[in-house]
Every structure is written in C-alpha cells, then in structure tokens.
Amino acid sequence: MNGENSLQTMHKSEGQDKIKKLEDKIDTTEYNIEVSKELISGVPSDAQREKLIEKNTQRRHAIGSMKKEIRDIEQTMEQRSREIS
C-alpha cells in the first residue's frame, strides 16, 4: 500500500511540474503576442507586418495545444488517482 501511495505522489508531482511548465510557456507566449501586436503598427513593411501577424496566429494555435495538453495531464492524473484508490 505504501508503494502505491508513493507512486501516486510521484505521478501527481510530475504532472503538476509539467502543468506548471506549460502554464509558464503559455504566459510567455501571450506576452510575445502582446509585444508583437505593438510592433505590428510600427512596422513599415507589409511583408514584415504579415510575418508578425502569421507568427501571432501560430502562437495562438500553440496556446490552444498547450491548454489541451494541460487538460490531458489533469485527466490522466485524475484517472490514475481513481485507479489507485
């Protein structure tokens, strides 16, 4: 029983660490989107402006993927918790 509890604790800790790292990445990506938005208005070149707009689109998709990964990790942690209990 004690081995199961330590295994559960380890999985939970690993999951929480992964979630924290993903949340940090999301924060950084959101910051980069905001900075890029500010730059877009001051960029003289249409080509550069389009590149920044496209990069922000990619960043938004990445944020969606990271949020999905967080949900998946949380779901796995919950499922493991129920299996061990």
d(CA 22, CA 49): 28
Residue (of 80, 82, 73, 79) closest to 17 by Cα position: 73
CA terminus-to-terminus distance, the chain: 10
Query: How many CA atoms are closer than 13 Å to the CA of 65, on its beta-carbon side?
Result: 8
Provide the mean pLDDT of the chain.
90
User: Taking 60 as the threshold, does the pLDDT of residue 14 lie above it?
Assistant: yes
- Residue 8 near residue 81 (C-beta atoms within 8 A): yes
For residue 29, CA distances in Å to 20, 55, 57, 60, 71 come to: 14, 11, 11, 8, 18
Report the domain count for the chain: 1
More confident of the two residues 33 and 41: 33
Domain boundaries, position 19? 2-84
pLDDT band per the 50, 70, 90 thresholds, residue 1: very low
> How much is the average pLDDT of 45-67?
96
d(CA 62, CA 16): 20
User: Taking 80 as the threshold, does the pLDDT of residue 6 lie above it?
Assistant: no
Share of the chain above pLDDT 90, in %: 69
Q: What pLDDT was estimated at residue 3? A: 56
pLDDT band per the 50, 70, 90 thresholds, residue 85: low
